[in-house]
Chains A and B, each alone.
Chain A
Amino acid sequence: MRRAYFKNNWVAALMVAPQLIIVFTFFYFPTSQALYWAFTLEQPWGGGNTWVGFDNFAAILGDAYYWDSIWVSIVYAIGSTALSVIMALTLAIFADRQLAGYKLYRVGMIWPYAIAAPAVGLAFRFIFTPGAGLMMFINQMFPDLWNPVDNGTQAMGMVIVAGAWKQVAYNFIFFLAGLQSIPRSLIEAGAMDGARVLRRMRDIQLPLLAPTFFFVLVINITDSFTDSFGIVDTMTAGGPSRATNLMVYKIFNDGFQGLDYSGAAAQSIILMLLVIALTFVQFRYIERKVHYT
């Protein structure tokens, strides 16, 4: 393979400098601060801090409720990722088949991604309200079937659906692009050999979509760990009795509302390590099954 490179390394350094400065200022510097705070007890209004070593981590990891929070986050990540990927894939396959009105549909499907998470949460709160609309109808047929106010599992389901819905649009774009980059001739050849729609999907489209699938998976898992607090905040506020207290929501609550900067910093470090570990696992074990060409 031919490689293009700069003969003068200083020019190269100059070219990447702006990006590097941004990365350092907005990513590495805050991370280093969080790392420092995680090992101290930081007074919110300044005025000093005390080095406490691993005390913050010991306190967090020794807390049974924190392990619940980790578990709940994993359930949310897997649930919302699976749901949004399946929905997005289904929709993308239909859009790709160029059924009537698919152009309108293709544009319309992208919109939900532009909606802010708290707004999504608010909208779904209305949809899932036990006292009105669809859910009231269901509750009248089966009394007390739906009650996310008391029932933690239902509250979790509600948050997962809202989170997945928000993510569908993003996944849809990638799946559609992936599907459209599959040469038509392959599908036409399959059709001429007598393969029906589902067969063609299973044997041609899905295997060729594997790289897109992998990318979407990694992004979704990461996103569901780090970008879900807006939905939780408006829908359940972590309740009932911690059933939807995702790790990132707990960080927001402790750090931004409760002014416990050190505890929140330590939790951020744990969350960061968890996301790194999960991404590593995905690259190590799932990516091996992906063929890029």
Chain B
Amino acid sequence: MNKTYPALAALALAFCATTASADKIKFDYWYGLSGDLGETLAETCNRFNASQDKYEAVCTGYDGYELVVQSAIAAFRAGKAPALLQSFDAGTADLMMSGQFYAVTQMMKDYNIEINWDDYFPGIANYYASSKGELFSMPFNSSTAVMYYNTDDLAAVNMPAPTTWAEFDATLKALKAKNPEKCSYGYEPSVWVDLEQYSSINNVPLATNNNGYDGLDTQYVYNTTSAVKHMEDIKGWLDAGLAEMKVSAGGMNSQEAFSQNICSFFFGSIANHSSLHLKHADGLNWDVAMIPTETAERHNSVVGGASLWVLAGKTEEEYRGVAEYLKFIATPEEIKFWVSNTGYIAVTKSAFDALTAEGFYSAAPYKGREVAITSLTATEPGPLNRGFRLGSMIQHRAEWLSEVQAALAGQKTVQEAYDTSVERGNALLEKFAKTYAGKTLP
């Protein structure tokens, strides 16, 4: 007898729990961040669910953007897609062409939720907007590439952080002269830093049609710009021993080489800022600066990271839930929670100003992250700095890497490598255009 009561109580409790959660309207949210960042994202879901008595976000994490986009596509084709999807820069073109999404600006208008879209940094908003400027997805975890440097090493040669590549060259030589044993620049080929960011910052085209925004009949042209010279410079530094290859296949990537105080320079995403703070060799003093430019003229860098896409084919109730969630994460408190627990940047001007005003960016561990905003807002984005609206970006990135590896190993010149990479990239773009024959970019 006395055994039955607890069992009944448990049953009743379970019943209550199910009815309570059944009252809430659930919607699915899939994201691609993993590790610490993924846990922080899961926490934003918990915070949302705790703040809500009407809607519940069911959040599922995947190991990487490629995997989450791939899974979402498979689910979408089977009619079981999530309502909200975190998708990365390279997935933008396919999603836009498919039309299988609910533009966030439209959705917020439909559900009468007031969001000041002009408050988003134009460099961030433009990447996810149509050619006419309508924002399609919700900017969320945004980053850009920056230059990390060892302050002690630079102080030893009495040099400030370089702002042009010519100064960077001089700095590398000075570092090598001072300490020939130390690796000055741990280099890891990155199409995002060495080509995409470079083209935007120096205002040179990556591809025709304003980097693909104006049509599908786009062709890559970076084998004719100063990007070639930049790559030749990198090869020159490697050949002269001023830079060293630091990649995972060799046992240590460039971030590890920097954080272990082995190399003096490292180029990477501002999102690495927090992990560098958490994990670095004792006695390492470091800071962040903007990526150097070719001439004194600087343009804005391109936003990286991912944005949130609302997928088509869901019920109105789910969309209302999604809209509430998006409204929730756009509040200043939530933006602050997100940026202080990750290395990502504040996506709205007001949140950034508020954080700056309260001194968020003037002390460790957040000091230096404002550099990313300075870099993203260096100029108003022009036709060559909005971003890239290019199909098959992942494969193009792989082609670029293979060709650059061949050039760095001395199998061909940089120009030959870039010519081949462009030619193969153009074949990919042509195929992409054919896949969406008869459709136009929105």
Contact = CB atoms under 8 A, between A and B. Distances in A.
B249 A239 contact: yes
A259 B245 contact: no
7 contacts: A44-B94, A131-B252, A149-B250, A150-B405, A239-B402, A254-B395, A259-B94
Candidate in B77, B402, B427, B434 with the most chain A CB atoms within 10 angstroms: B402
Given A254-B395, A258-B395, A260-B431, A130 B251 contact: yes
A262 B435 contact: yes
Nearest to B406: A241
Nearest to A50: B437
Nearest to B312: A45
A157 to B, nearest CB: 13
A151 B250 CA distance: 11
Contact of A45 (B98, B250, B252, B402): B98
Given A42-B435, A241-B406, A149 B411 contact: no
Contact of B395 (A41, A47, A253): A253
A167 to B, nearest CB: 22
Interface string A243-263: 001000000011011111011
Candidate in A46, A50, A150 with the most chain B CB atoms within 10 angstroms: A150
Closest 3 CB pairs of A and B: A129-B251, A45-B98, A241-B406
Q: Is the interface of B mostly helix, strand, loop or mixed?
A: helix
B76 interface: yes
- Counting contact residues on chain B (CB < 8 A from A), the size range is 35 or more
B402 A241 contact: yes
B135 interface: no
Contact of A149 (B69, B70, B247): B247
B102 to A, nearest CB: 13
Given A45-B98, A50-B437, A238 B406 contact: no
Interface in B228-258: 245, 247-252
Contacts of A148: 249-250
Interface of B: 66, 69-70, 73, 76-77, 91, 94-95, 97-100, 245, 247-252, 392, 394-395, 398, 401-403, 405-406, 408-409, 411, 427, 431, 434-437
A241 B249 contact: no
Contact of A131 (B250, B406, B434, B436): B250
Given A45-B95, A241-B411, A260-B392, A149 B435 contact: no
A59 B427 contact: yes
Nearest to A55: B434
A86 B217 CA distance: 54
Contacts of A41: 431, 434-435, 437
Contacts of B395: 253-254, 258, 260
Contacts, number: 106
Candidate in A45, A46, A49, A238 with the most chain B CB atoms within 10 angstroms: A45
Interface string A68-94: 000000000000000000000000000
A47 B406 CA distance: 38
- Counting contact residues on chain A (CB < 8 A from B), the size range is 35 or more
Interface in A124-167: 125-126, 129-132, 147-152, 155
Q: Is the interface of A mostly helix, strand, loop or mixed?
A: loop
A25 interface: no
A257 B66 contact: yes
Nearest to A253: B398
Contact of B76 (A45, A155, A241, A263): A45
Contact of B249 (A49, A155, A260): A155
Given A150-B245, A260-B431, A263-B431, A47 B98 contact: yes
B402 A44 contact: no
Contacts of B77: 45-46
Contacts of B409: 150-152, 240-241
B70 A239 contact: no
B86 to A, nearest CB: 16
Contacts of A155: 249
Contacts of B435: 41-43, 49-50, 262
A176 interface: no
Contacts of A46: 76-77, 98, 100
B250 A129 contact: yes
A268 interface: no
Contacts of B411: 241
Given A41-B437, A125-B248, A149-B250, 4 more contacts: A239-B249, A241-B406, A259-B392, A260-B431
B136 to A, nearest CB: 14
Given A46-B76, A47-B99, A257-B66, A125 B251 contact: yes
Nearest to A242: B402
B66 to A, nearest CB: 5
